[in-house]
Amino acid sequence: MNLNIGVIKGDGIGPEIVTEAMKVLDRTAKIYGHTCDYTQLLLGGASIDVHGVPLTDETIAGAKKCDAVLMGSIGGDAKTSPWYQLEPSKRPEAGLLAIRKALNLFANLRPAILYDELKGACPLKEEITEGGFDLMIMRELTGGLYFGERKTVTEDGVLTAYDSLTYNENEIRRIAKRAFDIAMKRGKKVTSVDKANVLDSSRLWRKVVEEVAAGYPEVSLTHMLVDNCAMQLVKNPKQFDVVLTENMFGDILSDEASMVTGSIGMLASASLNETKFGLYEPSGGSAPDIAGKGIANPIATILSAAMMLRFSFDLDKEADAIESAVAKVLKEGYRTIDIMSEGKTQVGTAEMGDLIASHLA
């Protein structure tokens, strides 16, 4: 099979970690008889440097011609980068929001898996993490507060800002269906997270999710308020299977989930539309403070590439091989600095990529 893949290397550590993911993809393709055809695309700060804007029509058109897009991290240091002297609509993150909307990437999948080998890097007590855990956060990605109307005005001499949180039933229904479909392949349990005791949007969210749940009698549904969910993720993460939630709540909870796995450098991510097209990226930021030092953890990006093979190309065996190679390397004691612990062997970004590629079978 020819894999037609768009590549957005991005900013900060993005080029380094995407390079390692491509290395692993190329090795996987060679072993299993595929070819990778890459199209390089610009987004974020890298696009601003060339075109003056974080996202161009050419990048959108190029992405749409691909079967999937592999992306690094977007953004820079807000205190020092000239990108952040621009108006908000022209900053790197604006391009990220815009491409999600343009490609209709409404479903964000963020698995949070604690490998047994990384228990030492997990900040939770050992009795909580014994046996590890495996949960999936399903975040609605193109609606809610991040995409609502916003304005800043002066009212009665006081500077006042407005951000609108809006969801309609169709937006909620399609992400809920995707969550229940994925739950059917996992532990058949969905925890829907909202703030229905306060927000009208959350009350509609809960109503529509219950309607969708009626079509999945094998899947159990539990509702949980977002503040309670934040506490439960650190108290007992093993209770969760699929966590379904709206855009802003999902943004926060998925980062929290990443830290209880030991490092955000371990958290992969997929953003899907209603076809098999998806944009795959690590959940962590661009980490400009360590860019170019060769110490960034590429595992999240490599695992994102595995998700791409699984969800966009239906290559489950190849995805399994990458995930198994990651587990083998960790079991052998190799660590990047962010997950380093006593008695293990510290390696850099490129060496970690080499090790994972060499363990593919």
- Of residues 9, 23, 195, 280, which has the active-site annotation? 195
226 close to 206: Cβ distance less than 8 angstroms: no
- Of residues 9, 23, 115, 146, which has the active-site annotation? 146
pLDDT of residue 259: 80
Distances (CA, A) of 155 to 12, 149, 151, 158: 40, 18, 12, 5
Amino acid of residue 59: T
Boundaries of CATH 3.40.50.2300 in the chain? 123-139+167-260
Mean pLDDT for each consecutive 10-residue tract of the chain (361 residues)? 97 98 98 98 98 98 98 94 95 93 94 82 80 91 93 97 97 96 92 98 98 98 98 94 97 88 82 94 92 96 96 94 96 93 94 98 77
Beta pairing, strands 270-272 & 107-114: antiparallel
For the chain, give the number of residues: 361
Helix (H) / strand (E) containing 71: strand 68-71
Q: Assess whether 26 carries a catalytic annotation.
A: no
Beta pairing, strands 189-194 & 220-225: parallel
Q: At CA 143, angle to CA 137 and CA 145, rounded to 5?
A: 95
335 close to 346: Cβ distance less than 8 angstroms: yes
- Of residues 37, 227, 314, 316, which has the active-site annotation? 227
Beta pairing, strands 242-245 & 133-140: parallel
Query: pLDDT tens, 267-288?
Result: 899 999 989 899 999 988 899 9
Q: What's the pTM value of the predicted model, to 2 decimals?
A: 0.85
Q: Assess whether 251 carries a catalytic annotation.
A: yes
Q: At CA 30, angle to CA 358 and CA 329, rounded to 5?
A: 20
268's tokens = 């992969």
pLDDT of residue 118: 79
pLDDT of residue 125: 85
Q: Domain spanning 123-139+167-260: which superfamily?
A: Response regulator (3.40.50.2300)
- Of residues 11, 67, 194, 251, which has the active-site annotation? 251
Beta bridge partners of 152: 161
pLDDT of residue 178: 92
- Of residues 134, 255, 344, 354, which has the active-site annotation? 255
pLDDT of residue 261: 82
Sign of the CA dihedral running 302, 115, 327, 316:
negative
Determine the topology of domain 1-108+267-361 in CATH. Answer: Isopropylmalate Dehydrogenase (3.40.718)
Provide the Cα torsion 295, 137, 234, 323; round to 10°: -50
Sign of the CA dihedral running 345, 347, 353, 357:
negative
Boundaries of CATH 3.40.718.10 in the chain? 1-108+267-361
Q: Assess whether 255 carries a catalytic annotation.
A: yes
| Cα–Cα distance measured from residue 47 to residue 325, given in angstroms and rounded to the nearest whole number | 34
